Structure 1
């Protein structure tokens, strides 16, 4: 009977396994194989070069710049997109904000529903030193010394793009935190209030311990998303000026579809996969996925 049950489970899992193998596992393996060759999209012959693409990648200054831009993306997103949204969610869960919560929840969440291309074009205009509103606003509040060509300055371009991502996805992570906080038993808060705990103490000692799983999920998905980012950078700066705002995704695209170095692009894609895979494993280890209780 147990054998029949296991066979039935296996049959139900088979279609999903076939689809995953065909569209996930096999392409990943094939990408690694592609990285071992020098080839272009129109080449009839491939030249086997072994690990040369990977050696070149680790010696490439642009890859180094792109990687650290992705790191900046991840660090800033953790601070604002995760940390900031958690604080706002906690404030919206306070009794004095409950009535206004639906309004703010909608306002914060709306940007995440807008197309990335539309968002990129919108913020291109906002940042524009000619038509934009950022520089005039800074001048109005006495910060004229901060005005610059935000997307045309090598020192500010990547951070201007990162700021747009925070604006767009802040509300999404905030809603996830709100849902998690609303599932925390009210008895715990009532007991803390009876014990004389302040709002900050309740947040630190009641809220955070009870939403640690969603904190972990948001952190990991934010980090992985930061290393897979492409659309915002491609639309707003294209990786420029120079290579100052290049990220791994845009450099992969440039190498493969503009320079027609498909083997080298496959090597960069392998790097992106390895980084995101490591963070995925870390998430599973920390959250205990697949761990059996003794």
Structure 2
């Protein structure tokens, strides 16, 4: 079986994966980039328009609203998910009765289809007959029974909360894997030196999980830029597209308005923003790491 470890054999075995990646990832991206420079409407010939679609985005009020909402969801998701998944992972790392069941419950939402999650939370957060507002009204807190979804103010926050609930278990599992790699000898040495729980947390656990934090932040950024089903099922982008995110607005532009060229330009912008945000964070953190070393 020595031939398996040769460079030629490895290259041959990589060919099927590379072909699938090229056909289903690279080629569709290149096609989208091409159509983003045209006025293609799904029928007829695509006429080249240069950067007109990209210039148009800066004057498109609905695009700017979707961009603003996406930024709100991104910031809220980063805060909620980083703190929540890290604390959840710390709890999952402790030995207690029912730990396995707790892990299963935390991770379960991640394997549920997003469209189903949207249906569930749509009923929970509905302003008129939703579970949250009904409970608040029954206990006399009518002032807190706000318009969670379907309005112009709280919809991005509601989407961030649901997205956090959906992927919390996945990110907590990544944190848990990182925590498991920290040698127990370090904690024993800290205990012998008199370090308390908070000191061990801030001076040992968090610094040694820098790479894990980077992975989770990049995954959160890319995940937020892929949210569609939650918007479609919970708000439909309404009222009057005020709760759209970039992905849902792109879908509306392409399949409802049939502006394929402009929709592809939005899709390319989403891809660029996602890649730029991820690589910018990685670059900043790696620079800090080099300075510290």
Structure 1 residue 193 corresponds to structure 2 residue 191: yes
Larger CA deviation: 156-165 vs 195-204: 156-165
CA contact 2:76–2:157 (8 Å) conserved in 1:
no
Query: What is the 5 A alignment of 1:1-294?
Result: 6-41=7-42, 43-94=43-94, 98-282=96-280, 285=283
CA contact 1:128–1:150 (8 Å) conserved in 2:
yes
CA contact 2:92–2:99 (8 Å) conserved in 1:
yes
Q: How does the TM-score come out when normalised to structure 2? A: 0.88
Unmatched tracts of structure 2, length 5 or more: 287-293
CA contact 2:36–2:53 (8 Å) conserved in 1:
yes
CA contact 1:86–1:174 (8 Å) conserved in 2:
yes
Give deviations 1:7-60, integer Å, cap 9, x for gaps: 45443433333332222222212211101111211x222222111111111211
Q: How does the TM-score come out when normalised to structure 1? A: 0.88
- C-alpha separation in 2, matches of 1:59 and 1:272: 17
- C-alpha separation in 1, matches of 2:99 and 2:195: 23
- C-alpha separation in 1, matches of 2:250 and 2:224: 15
CA contact 1:89–1:177 (8 Å) conserved in 2:
yes
What does residue 291 of structure 2 align with? Answer: none
1:131 deviates by 2.8
- C-alpha separation in 1, matches of 2:51 and 2:165: 40
* Residue 148 to residue 287, structure 1, CA distance change in 2 (3 Å): closer
- C-alpha separation in 2, matches of 1:150 and 1:271: 28
- C-alpha separation in 2, matches of 1:9 and 1:198: 50
CA contact 2:70–2:246 (8 Å) conserved in 1:
yes
- C-alpha separation in 1, matches of 2:127 and 2:249: 26
Larger CA deviation: 174-183 vs 68-77: 174-183
* Residue 282 to residue 11, structure 1, CA distance change in 2 (3 Å): farther
CA contact 1:127–1:133 (8 Å) conserved in 2:
yes
CA contact 1:77–1:222 (8 Å) conserved in 2:
yes
**What secondary structure sits across from 1:46 in the alignment?**
coil
